Amino acid sequence: MNFSLENSVNEQVVLPKEWGVELFIKREDTIHSFVSGNKYRKLKYNLKKAKSLGFDTLLTFGGAFSNHIAAVASAGKLHGLNTIGVIRGEELKSKLEENETLRFAKSNGMRFEFVSRAIYRQKTEITFLNSLKKFFGEFYLIPEGGTNELAVKGCEEILTEADKDFDVICCAVGTGGTISGLVNCSKPNQKVLGFPALKGDFLKEDISKFVTKTNWDLIEDYSFGGYAKINEELITFINAFKIENNIPLDPIYTGKMMFGVLDLIKKGFFKKGTKILVIHTGGLQGIAGMNSILKKKQLPIII
């Protein structure tokens, strides 16, 4: 992983003048070919710490389409670290080759432990982690979704001085690490809006643990029914956005957020003249897996 090329560009998304606001998108999806977007930011200081403590193995948790699993596998390979993914869903064990994300992770050397949903829920419990240590040996633990203090620290590098004139910063939210970093590096007069990709009452509490300011809020109307749930309206939107702006969005996070931001703009949610910056947190590796599901359901696919 190259740590020197870290500033992504802001591209303007041209909107009809009468909408009265300006919209830019920070292309964090372009900072690395495999460890894209916020997962790169979240791993940066964790990898440094794992290495400095002398660990040779990373262990983390994730689901079947997890961008985090793909990123950890890829980053581990680049850094010469072994990787272990504890995957939610025993049934995936026999379907590994059909799942693009897991296949990619495996091709980068990741070893898997497939567990039931009940066992997966113990992912933060000491007894379960100790049993994993007994089985796999010592490892540096990266929590599900990669969120911890070092991940937030990495995400504090997303905004730069050049972004100080934006009034509103928007991002997709999973576990809340990314928005926490954005809040911490935002200016006090900026507002940070998070668009959760899943329903979860715990999110606000989790974010509160990491943030140093209160200039943020969550907009919970655009989760499309929950994590990795999508419908034809969202697919149509993602495809139209790509054709119009030449910017791909992923179906799990950035597609939902951008849908929400544009919907709010059209509804007059933002004051006239507001300068909005949305963060493209990456996640494009998830498109292939989602398309496999869409094909099976005979729904239109993401182009």
- Residue type present at position 65: F
Nearer to ligand PLP (CB atom), residue 20 or residue 141: 141
- Residue type present at position 14: V
Question: Considering the complex, what minimum distance in angstroms separates the CB of residue 284 from ligand PLP?
Answer: 8
- Give the gyration radius of the chain's Cα atoms: 19
Cα angle: 143, vertex 58, 45; to 5 degrees:
70
Please report, for residues 46, 195, 227, 293, the alpha-carbon distance to residue 182 in angstroms, rounded to integers and kept in the order given: 18, 13, 22, 33
Site string for ligand PLP, 112-131 (x = CB under 6 A): --------------------
283 near ligand PLP, judged by CB under 6 A: yes
CB 280 within 8 A of CB 28: yes
Kindly give, in sequence order, each residue whose CB lies less than 8 Å from that of residue 143, ignoring residues fewer than 6 positions away: 60, 61, 123, 124
How many residues touch ligand PLP under the rule CB under 6 A: the total is: 20
Q: Is 61 helix (H, G, I), strand (E, B) or coil?
A: strand
Report the site for ligand PLP in 22-81 (rule: CB under 6 A). 37-39, 67-68
Compute the distance between CA of residue 170 and CA of residue 146 in angstroms, rounded to an integer.
Answer: 20
Longest dimension (CA), the chain: 62
Nearer to ligand PLP (CB atom), residue 74 or residue 254: 254
User: Within 10 Å of residue 153's Cβ, how many Cβ atoms?
Assistant: 20
The DSSP 8-state label assigned to residue 84 in this structure reads: E
Residue tagged 């495999």 (tokens): 34
255 near ligand PLP, judged by CB under 6 A: no
Q: Kindly tell me which residue out of 195, 253, 259, 270 binds ligand PLP, with binding defined by CB under 6 A.
A: 253
Question: Considering the complex, what minimum distance in angstroms separates the CB of residue 93 from ligand PLP?
Answer: 24
Compute the distance between CA of residue 190 and CA of residue 147 in angstroms, rounded to an integer.
Answer: 23
Report the site for ligand PLP in 178-197 (rule: CB under 6 A). 178
Nearer to ligand PLP (CB atom), residue 69 or residue 81: 69
Compute the distance between CA of residue 260 and CA of residue 220 in angstroms, rounded to an integer.
Answer: 9
Q: Kindly tell me which residue out of 250, 259, 265, 290 binds ligand PLP, with binding defined by CB under 6 A.
A: 250
Part in contact with ligand PLP (CB under 6 A); list of ranges 95-103, 110-118, 157-165, 249-257: 249-257
Nearer to ligand PLP (CB atom), residue 174 or residue 248: 174
Question: Considering the complex, what minimum distance in angstroms separates the CB of residue 127 from ligand PLP?
Answer: 25
CB 126 within 8 A of CB 88: no
Question: Considering the complex, what minimum distance in angstroms separates the CB of residue 50 from ligand PLP?
Answer: 19
Residue closest to ligand PLP, measured at CB: 283
First to last CA, the chain: 28
At 168, give phi and psi (nearest 5°). -130, 135
Nearer to ligand PLP (CB atom), residue 177 or residue 248: 177
Nearer to ligand PLP (CB atom), residue 9 or residue 14: 9
Report the site for ligand PLP in 142-181 (rule: CB under 6 A). 145, 147, 172-178
251 near ligand PLP, judged by CB under 6 A: no
Nearer to ligand PLP (CB atom), residue 20 or residue 143: 143
Binding site for ligand PLP (CB under 6 A): 37-39, 67-68, 145, 147, 172-178, 250, 253-254, 281-283
